[in-house]
Amino acid sequence: MVVTANTPSTPAPTHKKHEKHVDCEPLKDLIRTVPEFPKPGILFYDITTLLKDKVGFAQLIDAFAAHYIDRDIDLVLGIEARGFIFGPALAYRLNAGFVPVRKPKKLPAKTARVSYDLEYGADALEIHLDAIEPGQRVIIVDDLLATGGTMQATVQLVRQLGGEIAGLGFAIELDFLKGRAKFPKYDIFSLLHYDE
């Protein structure tokens, strides 16, 4: 398993002097697969079984932190809902702030909004207009990279607010769906890869 998941089309990160590679492959044993959820034809990778394992969850956050620790990150953005699990823990480790990216009508102040397509439907995401100051370095984390629609919407939100995207982080990447192809300009870091 390759922890840093750069491809030839993805520029190599420039801050690697203290980066540590953590073997996360054993964490696959803690992830449950649920067929036909949320609809027929979908195989769902359930991370709740990993999250309840204190050693596994710690290893997952440690692997994320090792990748980003020397990159001067100002903010970690977590995408609703499972990005809320990783984001705050990672932000704490990086001495960064945390910003939630939420479904519509959940944030109380003025927001920016982007609509997007999912592999099994459509949705929208919002972020507070004052969540990111222009030029702040941010990373965006989520549990899964599938077709990339959710992350693509979040990238648009960050661009609208003038943030500098330092990386996109995922616990799981479904390689066969080729979602990373939508992000050739960004460092994509996925801890676990599935080919089917």
Catalytic residues: 82, 119
Q: What is the C-alpha separation between 14 and 6, in angstroms, rounded?
A: 12
In angstroms, the Cα distances linking 164 to 55, 111, 132 are 32, 19, 9
Q: d(Cα 90, Cα 105) in Å, to the nearest integer? A: 26
Q: H-type helices in the chain, by residue range?
A: 48-51, 54-68, 83-94, 149-161
Q: Do 101 and 78 meet the contact criterion of CB atoms below 8 Å apart? A: yes
Evaluated on CA atoms 5, 36, 86, 59, the torsion sign reads negative
Q: Taking the CB of residue 164, how many other CB atoms lie within 10 A of it?
A: 13
Of 160, 113, 168, which is closest to residue 133 (Cα–Cα)? 160
Task: State both tokens at 160.
Answer: 């609208």
